[in-house]
Amino acid sequence: MTELTHFKNKITIAGSGPVGAMLAIILSRENYLVDVFESRPDPRAHNAQQGRSINITLSERAWAALEVIGLDNKVRQYATPLHKRIFHSKDGSLSEQSYGKKNQAIWSISREKLTEILISQAEQETHVNLHFEQRLTYIDFSTACASFSYLKAGRKGHKEVDADYVFAADGAFSKVRRLAQETPRFSYSQRYMEQSYIELTIAANEDGSTKLSPHASHIWPRKDFLLVALPNNNGSFTCTLYLNYQGETSFSSLTTPEAVTGFFLHNFTDVMPLLENPISEFLNKTPNPLFLVSVDPWVINNKVALVGDAAHAMLPFYGHGLNSSFEDCHVIAELIKLHNHDWIKILPAYYLQRKANTNAISKLSNDYFFDISHFESDELLSKKIADKFALKFPELWPSMDEMISFSRDISYEKAREISLEQKIIMTEIMKIKDIQLCWKKDCVYQKLEKMTLIRLLPLLK
């Protein structure tokens, strides 16, 4: 990089993952000088750490952010469109659920490939310097000065980096966030889930074809645990097994080849022959924790701001952790223009706008684990009624997927508000006398339409 002298401010970004790299590109193009520091080696030259290869799904929110930096077409070359979910019941029967309308899809891509594309682009930006294997040790939250340690020629080095602002894009285990806990009036909570996860693989056939339907996410719901498979563009599938960390059936109890074999044969009979070395992979991998993070505030002294998982790590079951993080970056880009580079206005506006929305999608993701892990092929009557009504009046009854994955102008907060009202309306519909017998009658849908026009339509405007 050739350093220019006419930049607006100097900004430090902690973390060079997809979020840090995207933010660096956005800020560089707005004429800020950006230094990105990463404690790990350059992922383009080293294998990813075990547990970090979990596939990412990209919705319209992510594509909107990628369009801002002109990388949407390049990323799409390495992504696989998913048009539906396919649920695999224990008895081998299949049920399908479309993500959206005809031709609508979310997209699956490996974390490594997405990171590689974004880091490589950031490296090409005129105002970006990338620094790998440099670990953050200290931040002055009043001046945005940060300290980093590193090894050079086998000897430990240390340097201080002055900046006007610091962005923490260093993920769910953010060091910036840990240091922020020593600042006044900083609230932080972290809640671990009972479940942890490991990743398994379904390899492609010898001719490169897939062993499962390629344009779908595949889900094996088993109430207390869950297996999900997402396709890669090389014909393989990345599978994620979510299972209790402790308990009668858990990672802690399944410690022998015999126990693990019995677990798979009993619960995943159809998928076990497809998995690549499932027993040895299960026993050799360390389960990764699932947890939620809540932080308040995200902006400290108008000098240091948290973005992405550093601010709002959430459960992965709706696939919106990265989508919401990219939306953080997109909002920052819009606010820079709206407030004409006035960071006294930009950072508080960013925090106020994003906090409520990420709280909403985090709650939706938390609830969704129960919904999909307890999915039954015989759908609930209330869902049949709602689906029938949505076919007749799609504009009055948007699905959750439509709102959070395909509608760029419906905020997460608004989507959750609409969803909660839909549940209340359906609870009242289910109180209709003999609803099990009369649910197909016009009178049911006339009542549903009337309730929707009065209570839901104002939220949809």
Q: Where are the domains of the chain?
A: 10-79+110-190+291-368, 193-289, 381-460
Q: Whose structure tokens read 């410690």?
A: 255
Mean pLDDT, all residues of the chain: 93
| Residue 35 in tokens | 């230094």
65 burial (CB, 10 Å; 0-12 / 13-18 / 19+) is buried
pLDDT band of 1, cuts 50, 70, 90: very low
Span 247-268, average pLDDT: 96
Q: Distance between CA atoms of 161 and 54, rounded to whole angstroms?
A: 33
Count of Cβ atoms closer than 10 Å to residue 313 Cβ = 24
The model's pTM is 0.92
pLDDT band of 379, cuts 50, 70, 90: low
| CA distances in angstroms from 315 to 17, 397, 427, listed in the order given | 18, 26, 27
CATH topology of domain 10-79+110-190+291-368: FAD/NAD(P)-binding domain (3.50.50)
Buried b (16+ CB within 10 A) or exposed e, 258-283: eebeebbeebbeebeebbeebbebbe
The one-letter amino acid at 458? P
Q: Distance between CA atoms of 156 and 187, rounded to whole angstroms?
A: 34
Reported as a single tens digit per residue, the pLDDT across 169-219 is 999 999 999 999 999 999 999 999 999 999 999 999 999 999 999 999 999
